[in-house]
Amino acid sequence: MMATETTIQERMNIVIVGHVDHGKSTLLGRLYADTGTLPEGKIEKIQAICRQQGKEFEYAFLFDAFLEEQQQGITIDTARTFFIWGSRQYIIIDAPGHKEFLKNMVSGAARAEAALLIIDALEGVRDQSKRHGLLLSMLGVKQVTVVVNKMDLVNYREDTFQAIEKEYRAFLTQLNVVPQYIIPASAKQGVNITQVSPETPWYSGPSVLDSLAHFHPEPSRSEKALRFPLQDVYKFDARRILVGRITAGKLKIGDRLVFSPTNKSANIRSIEAFNIDSPPTQAIAGQSVGITLDEQIFVERGHIATHEESRPLVSTQIRANLFWLGNRPLETGRTYTLRLATREVPCEIGVIHRIVDANNLDDRHTQATVQRNEVADITLRTKAPIAFDLYADFETTGRFVLVDNYDVAGGGIITESVSDEQENFRTEARERDSAWVKGDVGVEERSRYYGHRAAVVLLTGPDTTAKSFLARKLETVLVAEGRHAYLLSAENLQRGLDADLHDTKPEEMVRRFGEVVRLVADTGSLVITTTNAFSRGAKDIVQTVQTLVNPIQVVTVHMTKEQTGPQPDRDLIFAGPEDFDACTHQIIEILKQKRILAEPKESSTAVQFSI
């Protein structure tokens, strides 16, 4: 008979893993039969077919028939079925093969909140069982019930079960997976499947079905902290509308938002919607909305808006479990594109820690490349800081895909934030900006009056490239146009502010330099400076300045005598410049392209400036 119709209060995704011969289909067939999920007369029909074909009836046949039945009435993945028990709907993700398992998990069609892992009692803990546990760990599944199936084949011996339980629990503990229950069972005989049976009087735990009821579903997305990745910024009349889909939490008019990774912040002035009489005052997870802010700060696609007390992680390095589906191997040293929520950024593989072949779950610790259908534990390095979360905390902002030559070639989940060399500076800047004491004149008023937004132009390259000359020329041209530009020389700081350091602490000198640049830029000025005075590498200086002056934009210009060879990642690169007028013009043009400069002021009257 079908299960009594009931109101579904929640849903839970459960993945079932185990060798094909360990009784997965039999277990599921028994669950569906004993919970009344099957259509009326289905068991009798399958039993009659078995008699006609002269073979023994198996509950696995029920599962196969039920899967086919569900496919006819609903568009559903071929490896997914469901049943209802109590007020909860269980969506079962069965993995008939490891390729299909990999594909389902990467696509995000169904996120497993818990797992049933099947072990054959007669075989005991084998390599296959360990590899399944490893794969669950790499997928971030923490709620697990282990079913030691086919106990009837070992005469329900307690010592056999205890040996398997002790060995497998110790193994899972190494993977940071703590099984909630390890249950002796016989799916074929129905022992401990939907209720505890007398065949195992020495067992005092729940049945398999009861163990599912003890799994905790994911909290409602709207009850989580706010995550609002920006899809785009639209300009209507005088308004700039920030649009995107709220992936977690809720927002309302008046909320103070912080945009990561740049650390810019503003209050929500309005929530925009089309074709409604009265605009909404709040929005929740799952809704696509547009918002306006009370300050015209510069934010863009890929930034993640949150509340101040629950910001995402920010780094240029992440540790992740990657599922590789590309036609050519994943290699260290090559550049890929990482897509996380709405952000895209170049990246490369820093370290390959471990590789698992998803076809046969072979585990290899040392290998320089990741092949198709392999799962790898890796560290990724991005070219610019990204905002993200751990997958265990936020699904959407904790997973990503890798693009190889315009093709989506892999997907992954973030398991750990790896500190980079900018971590201390980033923490300092975040704490400083959250408590920054502002005057009554805001950045919007300054930009309208000056005709430009605050920004930093940082010139790098060998001392022989005359970058100081270009910096002075750029300041002269900008001031002649009526801009508030200032040439800040780090050498001046070393004669005063840094006099106590005596070149003994180059990192602290760069930190102080970045803080001074931030202060000058906060006046609304265009700060022009070079890396001439520092002994540290230009890359470190650029990264430190970019971190400390956030949320103010930094435009980087690199000058070199070489026409060929690898060049650093900069906004502009001048190779062997001789025409400094042309170089100055190009810098001013890129300042306009980045919406830092408006048209030059022709008088002392304030101009209208649109960010």
| Superfamily of the domain at 434-593 | P-loop containing nucleotide triphosphate hydrolases (3.40.50.300)
Is residue 451 left, alpha or beta, with left meaning phi > 0 and alpha meaning psi from -120 to 50? left
Q: Retrieve residue 597's tokens.
A: 């400069």
What is the fold of 221-310? Answer: Elongation Factor Tu (Ef-tu); domain 3 (2.40.30)
561 pLDDT more than 90: no
Mean pLDDT, residues 275-295 taken together: 87
Q: How confident is the model at residue 16 (pLDDT cuts 50, 70, 90)?
A: confident
Q: Retrieve residue 75's tokens.
A: 């568009």
Question: What proportion of the chain, given as a percentage, has pLDDT over 90?
Answer: 36
108 pLDDT more than 60: no
By the 8 A CB rule, do 472 and 487 touch? yes
Of 387, 322, 372, nearest in space to 348 by CA: 322
Amino acid of residue 13: N
Lowest mean pLDDT among 9-23, 261-275, 298-312, 404-418: 9-23
pLDDT digits (tens, 9 = 90+) for 478-522: 999 999 999 998 888 888 887 887 666 788 888 888 899 999 999
What letters, b where the CB count within 10 A reaches 16 and e where it falls short, cover 246-268? Answer: bbbbbbebebebbbbbbbbbbeb
477 pLDDT more than 90: yes
Mean pLDDT, residues 70-74 taken together: 38
* Domains 221-310 and 315-420 equal at CATH topology level: yes
Residue carrying the six token digits 């039969």: 33
Q: How confident is the model at residue 387 (pLDDT cuts 50, 70, 90)?
A: very high
How many Å is the Cα radius of gyration of the chain?
30
pLDDT digits (tens, 9 = 90+) for 26-36: 888 788 777 77
Q: According to the model, what pLDDT value does residue 591 have? A: 95
CATH number of 10-213: 3.40.50.300
Q: Retrieve residue 206's tokens.
A: 């729940």
Q: For residue 510, give the 3-state DSSP assignment.
A: helix
Q: How confident is the model at residue 535 (pLDDT cuts 50, 70, 90)?
A: low
Q: According to the model, what pLDDT value does residue 461 have? A: 86
pLDDT digits (tens, 9 = 90+) for 335-377: 999 999 999 999 999 999 988 765 555 666 667 889 887 888 9
pLDDT digits (tens, 9 = 90+) for 536-555: 667 788 888 888 887 788 99
Helix, strand, coil share of the chain (percent; to 5): 30, 30, 40
Q: According to the model, what pLDDT value does residue 63 have? A: 59
Q: How confident is the model at residue 142 (pLDDT cuts 50, 70, 90)?
A: confident
Distance CA 560, CA 582 (A): 16
Q: According to the model, what pLDDT value does residue 31 have? A: 82
By the 8 A CB rule, do 294 and 269 touch? yes
Domain range annotation of the chain: 10-213, 221-310, 315-420, 434-593
Residue 259: which residues within 8 A CB-CB, separation 6 or more?
Answer: 230, 265, 297, 299, 303, 304, 305, 551
Phi, psi angles (nearest 5°) of residue 489? -95, 125
pLDDT digits (tens, 9 = 90+) for 451-475: 899 999 999 988 777 889 999 999 9
278 pLDDT more than 60: yes
CATH number of 315-420: 2.40.30.10
Give strand pairing partners of 559.
574
Q: According to the model, what pLDDT value does residue 604 have? A: 44
242 pLDDT more than 80: yes
CB atoms within 10 A of CB 54: 6
CA of 423: how far to CAs of 348, 514, 552, in Å?
Answer: 19, 15, 18
Residue 608 CB-density burial (10 A; 0-12 exposed, 13-18 middle, 19+ buried): exposed
By the 8 A CB rule, do 55 and 42 touch? no
Distance CA 513, CA 517 (A): 6
Lowest mean pLDDT among 35-39, 213-217, 362-366: 362-366
Mean pLDDT, residues 273-295 taken together: 86
Mean pLDDT, residues 22-48 taken together: 74
Q: According to the model, what pLDDT value does residue 224 have? A: 92
Q: How confident is the model at residue 231 (pLDDT cuts 50, 70, 90)?
A: very high
Q: Determine the longest span between alpha carbons in the chain, in angstroms.
A: 99
Q: According to the model, what pLDDT value does residue 7 have? A: 66
Q: According to the model, what pLDDT value does residue 601 have? A: 52
Q: According to the model, what pLDDT value does residue 102 have? A: 53
Q: According to the model, what pLDDT value does residue 70 have? A: 42
Q: How confident is the model at residue 608 (pLDDT cuts 50, 70, 90)?
A: very low
312 pLDDT more than 90: yes
573 pLDDT more than 70: yes
Q: For residue 181, give the 3-state DSSP assignment.
A: strand
Average pLDDT, the chain: 82
Distance CA 282, CA 272 (A): 10
Amino acid of residue 338: L
346's enclosing H/E stretch is: strand 343-357
Q: Retrieve residue 186's tokens.
A: 């016989």
Q: According to the model, what pLDDT value does residue 337 have? A: 94
Mean pLDDT, residues 557-574 taken together: 82
Residue 275: which residues within 8 A CB-CB, separation 6 or more?
Answer: none
576 pLDDT more than 80: no
606 pLDDT more than 60: no
Mean pLDDT, residues 400-418 taken together: 88
Distance CA 87, CA 12 (A): 11
Amino acid of residue 600: P
